[in-house]
Structure 1
Amino acid sequence: MSDRLDKGKEWFDKVYGEGKSEGLIEMQTGLGQDLARFGIEFNFGDIYSRPGLSLAQRELLSLASLVTIGGLEPQLRGHTRGALRVGCSPTEILETVIHTVQYCGFPKALNAMRVITDELQLQGQEIPPALGPGE
């Protein structure tokens, strides 16, 4: 196992839980396992492990990026769980989605809000109430 892979697995497991990096690789078949390994090495071994941002900040940035791309519901669910695991509150997560609307538009933001709200509820989290007009 390479140092990059070891480092990537360490950081991946910090975000998603012990042994989850192995699960990501094992859920793939054949060459798909190589792709999962590349993702762990690069995304977590090279990027997430860098200094300068906390894991919570990285997860909120990941969520914002996924919202603006759109159509990545499984990744939104996974990064919502990751964000909770590294200490983000439901309010921080949902406000991140609200912040993206100015860049990606209402359809993507509303779709993401539904996916993330559903995942938060599945994780036993209380959904913050609406602030209402002008608040």
Structure 2
Amino acid sequence: MSEDRYQLGLEKLAEIDGEQGQKVVDALQSIAPEFATLMIEFGFGDIYSRPGLDLKSREIATVAALTALGNAAPQLKVHLHAALNVGCSPKEIVEILMQMALYAGFPAALNGLFVAKEVFAERGIELVEAP
């Protein structure tokens, strides 16, 4: 059972996060490889693989939650890439982050927007045309 969960989780991680997710797993190998296994099995094998929501909806929820936390910029960056990978448009992402100002405060929304700016730059995405 555990091996099945792990394999399913690895496949889902690759589908959602691509190389960004594998970088997180690789970074954990020298400090907490068991945590990487747990993250793959539970997070991606059990939760992300559930049929109740599509991957885009799951990433919208994840981006909103990480933004609201206000102290998870590295994880937010990974999940902003994931949101783009599963079909969120850059404009939708900006709207999600702006929505968080209402519920998590302006500092959290600003932090999220600046992380998104980094992710968009890495991908060559420009939302506002230069004057």
Shorter-chain TM band? 0.7 to 0.9
Instruction: Give the alignment's Cα RMSD to 1 decimal.
Output: 1.9
Alignment CA distance shift 1:112-1:47 (3 Å): same
TM-score (ref. length: structure 1): 0.85
C-alpha displacement at 1:21, in angstroms?
Answer: 5.5
Aligned structure 1 segments of 4 or more residues deviating by more than 4 angstroms: 19-23
Task: Give the corresponding residue for 1:62.
Answer: 62
Task: Give the corresponding residue for 2:108.
Answer: 108
In the alignment, the residues of structure 1 paired with residue 71 and residue 78 of structure 2 have an alpha-carbon distance, to the nearest angstrom, of 14
User: How many residue pairs align between the two structures?
Assistant: 128
Instruction: Give ranges in structure 1 of 5+ residues lacking alignment.
Output: 130-135
Task: Give the corresponding residue for 2:33.
Answer: 33
C-alpha displacement at 1:112, in angstroms?
Answer: 1.1
Task: Give the corresponding residue for 2:11.
Answer: 10
In the alignment, the residues of structure 2 paired with residue 57 and residue 128 of structure 1 have an alpha-carbon distance, to the nearest angstrom, of 25
1:84-130 deviations in whole A, cap 9, x for unaligned? 1111100111111111111110111111111112211211112257x
Task: Give the corresponding residue for 2:124.
Answer: 124
From the two aligned structures, give the one with the greater helix fraction: 2
Q: Does 1:51 align with 2:61?
A: no
Instruction: Give ranges in structure 2 of 5+ residues lacking alignment.
Output: none
Amino acid at match of 1:13: A
